[in-house]
Structure 1
């Protein structure tokens, strides 16, 4: 059973430059979608609310074990329930920790403004330091991938390895299509049918994402939650070239976010020690489309870094 913290709800948070749910009805709608999606996940071993300088970060541990954990960072407007398809396979590889991103819809509760990427890396570093004394393997999808790389740039001591799934703003910008989706996600008055079409577009043509718990979760986050996040800036070339930890980047060939092949080529030049692949049949919703293939690729990648999984 998921435990809900006291969240930022209502117009009293407007102007405080922190993420909040606009009104109680919207929060209840989001909470139901979160609860429904959470019910599809494997059993949680431990639920933790981690205090940081910018708010309390909701973390879940799935399964105990001696191996270095794999930390999962969700995409924009998403949260832990988005990993329903991925957790069974990844848990066969090693223990997993999931986080809800601070400032995004979820059960993390922001208390102070995030000014820039340095602040965004700081809260994540603080949370991981409280959860694990050692560096961890970090896997992020979409903006969670950017968050993982941003952490590695500013706090490389926290990161044992990086895995990104169709991450934007790392090796290049985004297309006009993605900008349109992003604008739709912050317009509270957008008709529900249009919002669902945007979700379907970014998800590779899923006809009714609102019928899935993850779809309802993201749709409610888009409609009911107000984010006050700094502009997402691409790391400098020298920052990317300075990354020395093992790095696996997977790009979706059918993604509307960017030109996957062009970014993969750029990534190989900037991070010559990394492994960068284009999966031609994947859309930006790659984690839900190819959960078994992702688990197998992650197992191979991490097995080469740390053979004794446990």
Structure 2
């Protein structure tokens, strides 16, 4: 009987470890649109994979069926690490986190989700009526991944969506980190950089992309050319015009209901934010903290990757320990 109990315990242990190891096994089958893409998408997917060579840490691809199509998620980091969800910016994909993935995944389990209406490896089968449906779509993905407690990081438009999720989600969001969030605390201020982007319609696609990078980054030469090549191919899926008007700054009384620790980082040459963003963060968010990162623009996660990575990691640690 003694040996039988020991054998039974060993069997249960093996089954438990095995299930834990293949927790997302059902999402690892490569869908047809990735395995055999049409000519239009083939070049983009190849460029996407090439950018991932800059990821710096091992990753897994997950493909999750949702009500609006298939969500593609990049997962990295230790399986027992605290989950961190990454929401990318406008006209981009999860590969934009290539300067930050390695540092963030050292102790955390990161989940970078390709927004289904943007360039990336997610595949849309139904249209979205409004941006609220986008927030609901992310909730579907969280549910499929069984993520009930996590840190949430969003940049640019991803920062706006992350704030909307934090305001309405019933999940335990340990901390919220916003990197140059667009129209979250204030309207986009008029500037020469904004005007420069408007006039990009008069330039070739190649020149227009570089002019845009010059307005978004303090030092655009730091942006990896591999990523830029992917970015150019993905511009055809741009959805800024459709949803940007729906992204209005959140009322201060709504922001004040955010009870989790919130960190807002903006660049000192940020086209979408000013020091007023930091003032609003610290005035209305109960646990809000804001900071201006020197020598950086809207792309502060590229311009000052090491500094931003450290601030994010330290902030998540303090949120977990309560310091």
Please show how residues 133-152 of structure 1 align to structure 2 within 5 Å: 133-152=147-166
Aligned: 1:52 with 2:66: yes
Please show how residues 21-100 of structure 1 align to structure 2 within 5 Å: 24-25=39-40, 27-100=41-114
Larger Rg: 2
Q: Deviations over 1:28-86 (max 9, x none)?
A: 44223212101221344432112222222111210233232111111111112211211
- Alpha carbons of structure 1 residues 71 and 172: separation in structure 2 relative to 1, 3 Å: same
Which runs of 5 or more residues in structure 2 are unaligned? 1-28
Q: What residue number does 2:307 align with? A: 293
Which runs of 5 or more residues in structure 1 are unaligned? 8-20
CA distance in 1, matches of 2:198, 2:135: 24
CA contact (8 A) 1:38 1:80 kept: no
Q: What residue number does 1:225 align with? A: 237
CA distance in 1, matches of 2:226, 2:308: 21
Match of 2:177 among 163, 166, 175: 163
- Alpha carbons of structure 1 residues 57 and 180: separation in structure 2 relative to 1, 3 Å: farther
Please show how residues 113-124 of structure 1 align to structure 2 within 5 Å: 113-124=127-138
TM-score under structure 2 length normalisation = 0.79
CA drift of 1:251 comes to 1.3
CA distance in 1, matches of 2:32, 2:119: 13
Q: Deviations over 1:173-203 (max 9, x none)?
A: 1134565576578x69844212321122212
SS of 2:54's equivalent in the other structure is coil
CA distance in 2, matches of 1:226, 1:152: 25
- Alpha carbons of structure 1 residues 179 and 124: separation in structure 2 relative to 1, 3 Å: farther
Structure with the largest fraction of helix = 2
CA contact (8 A) 2:73 2:113 kept: yes
CA drift of 1:208 comes to 8.4
CA drift of 1:216 comes to 1.8
